[in-house]
Structure 1
Amino acid sequence: MDFNEKQIQILKVAEKLFAEIGFDGTSVRHIAKEADVNVAMISYYFGSKEKLLEALLLYRVADFKMELETVMVQNLPHVEKLDALVSLMVNRIHRNRRTHKIINYEYTNTCRQIDFDAYVEQKKDSLGIIEAFVKDGQNKGVFKTDVHTKLLGATVIGTYFQVYNNKPFYKKLLGLDSDEAFENYMLTSLTQHIQQTIKSLLLNEK
């Protein structure tokens, strides 16, 4: 998806508001005020609040696909590329926590008139890139063949949010005395733990 600078500004403001006060609690007028644009501009670019959310999801998933392809073209051994892939995923989840929060609620809301089909297809394309990488590793004997490849992403995301959504508990459990220390832990030690987990699932024993 190609968005101009002003559209991206609107999308990021909408993302913040949708995550903080909910889709229903956020008005187009509120988004316009926070983004310092007029309501007519949002209507011109996106048409409606529902279409704005659809555009936000496509913007985020298309951006992920580009970053994913950048990792996949690197000339690295499979194990190093796997670590780079997991690191990318954790970093993106951490940066885009708001989007995940929105998706988790809105995608399961059967009363909502939002078209998720394009988002799902883009997401499947990205997962297809990961599956192709794993398949190549399996063909070369690096990765196990009895692995549910489609659930690897869920393993990464689930582990991340289990810790992040229970932040007060894990700060005490891990002896992290500040939010800054917790944020650093998520992008270092937790990332390494998830890398180890995914490798234990995938790598053939030697």
Structure 2
Amino acid sequence: MAVQENTTLKAAYADKVAADLAENTAGQDRIRAEIETLQAQLTTLETDHTLLKSVSAALGDPTGGVPAPRRAARKTAAVAKKAAAEKTADAAAPKKAGAKKEAAKKTTTVAAKKTAATTDKAKAANTGADKGPALTELIHAHLSSQSEPVTAREIAKALADANPGRNVNDNLVRTTSERLVARGRADRIKQGSTVYYTAKADAAPAASEPAEKATAAAS
């Protein structure tokens, strides 16, 4: 009896660790996608800044009348953000069994949520305002309206067409779709190297979390 209980407990821990690792990986993908978006926005702003300085100089003001952007500080912030995400990934790997393993997983989850919240707040400050419902709800609604499984790219294109001006890309949609699968609100079907998603007919919307609201504002 004791052997059977130990085997069951071990299997339960293994399933929990696998689920946490999947959620952590999805979180890393989402943060990397957001960093890429922010980097693209920064590149655009820098290009505009250079153009505006040229125009200002042509008008007789060689300095442009404004201080130069603090490139070093921005680069340092981006490196620190990436390091924080990598540190979170390292902390997610279980190193000890029993209570220590469970405590480590809880610490990792809290750290990942704080990192995601910080990144989402920064992105929300750049975009300016909340632009609609959470991306998870948009994706679930789209999946529910489809009669056949669809890929993340197909979802992203449909949402981009239906929500002009909102930031929707393949990586962000894929990460959010995986979150729906983890919560039991969607199914994941893999055929060869292609992954398809479908909505579960009996899935009920989960309560919105602060991180999802920040993602909606950033999108």
Coarse TM-score class (shorter-chain normalised): 0.3 to 0.5
Counting strand residues as a fraction of each chain, which structure ranks higher? 2
* TM, length-normalised to structure 1: 0.35
Q: Which has the larger radius of gyration?
A: 2
Counting helix residues as a fraction of each chain, which structure ranks higher? 1
